[in-house]
Amino acid sequence: MTFGMVVLAGGIGRRIGRPFPKQFLLLGGKPLLVHVLEKARPIVELEQIVITCPEAHLEETRQLLENHGFDRRFRCIVGGGTRQESVYLGLKALEGVDSVVIHEAVRPLVTVDEFRALIASPDENAMYGIPISFTVLRGHEYVEGLLDRDELVNVQLPQKFDLPKLVAAHEAARAAGTSFTEDASLFVQHTGERVRILPGSERNVKITVPADFVMAEALYADVIGRGS
Amino acid sequence: MGRTAVVTGASQGIGRATAVRLSRDPSIANLVLVARSADGLDATAAACATGIVAVHQLPYDLGDLDGIPALVAGIHERHGSIDVLLNIAGYAEPRSLLDTSAQNLVTTFTVNVFAMLVLTREVVRHMQGRPIKIVNIASTAGITSRPGWVAYAASKAAVVSLSQTLSEELAGTGVRIYTISPGRTATELRRKLAPEEDPNTIMQPDAVADVIAMLVGEGERTLDGQNIIVRQQI
């Protein structure tokens, strides 16, 4: 079995007027993207690591890889206009691998062990997930219904898929014009196959809004032994 | 006779807030605003328009160290004295160690440290034996670790050191040097350092300007030589 990886680094810095894309934000002094790639570096099973990034930041991302000494396993490509399109382009850029691990730059606190456990999982397709610890309801301006949180899962990355099957699922989604915010739902919807849920970690936070960054800084300080 | 105050970095942030604050100070006659951005200086001068002080704009790039002696001589010649020097101009380009270029280090130290030192030297040279107040803006980044801000944090540590050293070296000459280390302040520079932060939740430049105004007041005689930490308190 051979493995490749797609790392999504497609932010363009639009949210709250950030002067540069989120993947370049410094957490503990290092760009978020570097945090992720450093976790992938020791995993020899990952034969190719493709980073999808905006065209306007392609050279900056390549420079980052060079500055931080990432070898030829790591390469950048231009992503698409949506997350789904970027994943598809990343999948198509992988050559000769059986399985793909998908991760994103905005989850910098992923661990090497989490990557290793995902790769070692006997399931062909797997993802990390954690229970929902808060109440969820349906509704917009008014409550329209209840949702049983025991039947829900907070989807995390990284995820792992059989590469040809995921490519086929993406092509089916493109043909059907359906869009998804992550790949497990796309995969299940368009293949009908099962995706194993591995127990994730509350610490593997996704940095979406500014408060997430504050939390990530505190978690990272704890990781490196500088927490208060 | 009113005093002449020179404010660097006057086009925005703490520099602008300080200029506005001092424009209402009856002990000041002339306020000389120095910054790279002529447009920014226009905006600051406009904000000072309701004050009681004559405001003079002097666009200048402090990255040009060689021109600073002529800059200071020109101010001195025009106004007859430089009684207050506020070294507020700052530069930051946060990068991880492996992404930090030599140019980043040079520019950061040139603006934050070397220009401050040359300005101070020239002002003291012109004002031998007369009372001068100098306020140097450092940062809390200069006294605690700041991963990812190596050039900026090191430059601010240098500001703390040079200020304390010069305060002792010039003791008894009438020159009083103060260092202010602001904590998180809602400025454009801070936005570069912490782009995820909501500027409405941190200290505003006016708070630092109030402290500067207190220090440059003629009655203040006890805090020079110290690194004064200014933080928003809850």
Q: What is the CATH number of the domain that holds A168?
A: 3.90.550.10
Alpha-carbon span B49 to B110, nearest angstrom: 32
In this prediction, residue A16 carries a pLDDT of 44
Q: Does the distance separating the beta carbons of A29 and B147 come in below 8 Å?
A: yes
For A116-151, b/e burial (b = at least 16 CB within 10 A) is eebbeeeebbbbbbeeeeeeeeeeeeeeeeeeeeee
Closest among B74, B81, B77, B80 to B59, alpha carbons compared: B74
Query: What residues are paired with A76 via a beta bridge?
Result: A51
pLDDT greater than 80 at residue A227 = no
In a domain, A228, yes or no: no
Q: What is the pLDDT of residues B41-86, one digit of tens each?
A: 999 999 999 999 999 999 999 999 999 999 999 999 999 999 999 9
Q: What is the pLDDT of residues B198-226, one digit of tens each?
A: 999 999 999 999 999 999 999 999 999 99
Alpha-carbon span A1 to A147, nearest angstrom: 39
Alpha-carbon span A159 to A124, nearest angstrom: 11
In this prediction, residue A207 carries a pLDDT of 95
Q: For residue B201, list chain A residues with Cβ-Cβ distance below 8 A.
A: none
For A64, the closest of B99, B195, B196 (CB atoms) is B99
For B96, the closest of A19, A20, A29 (CB atoms) is A29
Closest among B128, B93, B126, B98 to B110, alpha carbons compared: B93
Confidence of residue B196 (pLDDT cuts 50, 70, 90): confident
Confidence of residue A24 (pLDDT cuts 50, 70, 90): very high
Q: For residue B198, list chain A residues with Cβ-Cβ distance below 8 A.
A: 210
Average pLDDT of the segment spanning A146-166 = 96
pLDDT greater than 80 at residue A17 = no
pLDDT greater than 80 at residue B1 = no
Tokens of B221: 């005689």
In this prediction, residue B68 carries a pLDDT of 98
Which pairing describes strands B175-182 and B132-137: parallel, antiparallel, or unpaired? Answer: parallel
In a domain, A208, yes or no: yes
Distances in Å between the Cα of A174 and the Cα atoms of A84, A180, B80 are 9, 11, 75
In this prediction, residue A2 carries a pLDDT of 97
For A210, the closest of B94, B148, B197 (CB atoms) is B197
For B96, the closest of A30, A63, A69 (CB atoms) is A30
* Average pLDDT in chain B: 96
In a domain, A159, yes or no: yes
Q: What single letter denotes the amino acid at residue A25? A: L
Q: Which candidate in B95, B96, B200 is best for mutational testing of the A interface (most A CBs within 10 A)? A: B96
Q: For residue B97, list chain A residues with Cβ-Cβ distance below 8 A.
A: 29
Average pLDDT of the segment spanning A145-170 = 96
The residue segments making up the domain with residue A119 are 3-223
**Total tally of structural domains belonging to chain A:** 1
Interfacial residues of A (vs B; Cβ cutoff 8 Å): 16, 18-20, 25-26, 28-31, 34, 63-64, 67-69, 210, 213-214
Q: For residue A23, list chain B residues with Cβ-Cβ distance below 8 A.
A: none
For residue B147, what is the nearest residue in chain A, using CA coordinates? Answer: A29
In this prediction, residue B155 carries a pLDDT of 98
Answer yes or no: are the C-beta atoms of A122 and A39 closer than 8 Å.
no
Answer yes or no: are the C-beta atoms of A16 and B199 closer than 8 Å.
no
Percent of chain B with pLDDT over 70: 100
Q: Does the distance separating the beta carbons of B97 and A29 come in below 8 Å?
A: yes
Percent of chain A with pLDDT over 90: 89
| pTM, entire model | 0.85
Distances in Å between the Cα of A137 and the Cα atoms of A77, A145, A151, A206 are 39, 6, 13, 22
ipTM: 0.75
Q: Is the dihedral of CA B169, B3, B69, B111 positive or negative?
A: positive
Percent of chain A with pLDDT over 70: 95
Q: What is the pLDDT of residues A170-190, one digit of tens each?
A: 999 999 999 999 999 999 999
Average pLDDT of the segment spanning A118-147 = 96
For residue A60, what is the nearest residue in chain B, using CA coordinates? Answer: B99
Confidence of residue B234 (pLDDT cuts 50, 70, 90): confident
The Cα of B150 is separated from the nearest Cα of chain A by a number of Å equal to 9
Answer yes or no: are the C-beta atoms of B233 and B182 closer than 8 Å.
no
Q: What is the pLDDT of residues B85-126, one digit of tens each?
A: 999 999 999 999 999 999 999 999 999 999 999 999 999 999
In this prediction, residue A156 carries a pLDDT of 98
B3-230, which class in CATH?
A: alpha beta
Tokens of A14: 């639009």
pLDDT greater than 60 at residue A97 = yes
Confidence of residue A12 (pLDDT cuts 50, 70, 90): low
Q: For residue A210, list chain B residues with Cβ-Cβ distance below 8 A.
A: 196-198
Answer yes or no: are the C-beta atoms of B155 and B110 closer than 8 Å.
no
In a domain, A204, yes or no: yes
Tokens of A137: 């309801």
pLDDT greater than 90 at residue A144 = yes
Per-position DSSP letters for chain B, written without gaps between them: --EEEEEESTTSHHHHHHHHHHTT-TTEEEEEEEES-HHHHHHHHHHTTTSSSEEEEEE--TT-GGGHHHHHHHHHHHHS---EEEE-------B-GGG--HHHHHHHHIIIIIHHHHHHHHHHHHTTTS-EEEEEE--GGGTS--TTBHHHHHHHHHHHHHHHHHHHHTTTTTEEEEEEEE-SB-SHHHHHH-TTS-GGGSB-HHHHHHHHHHHHSTT--S-TT-EEEE----
* Phi, psi angles (nearest 5°) of residue A98: -90, -35
B152 is catalytic: yes
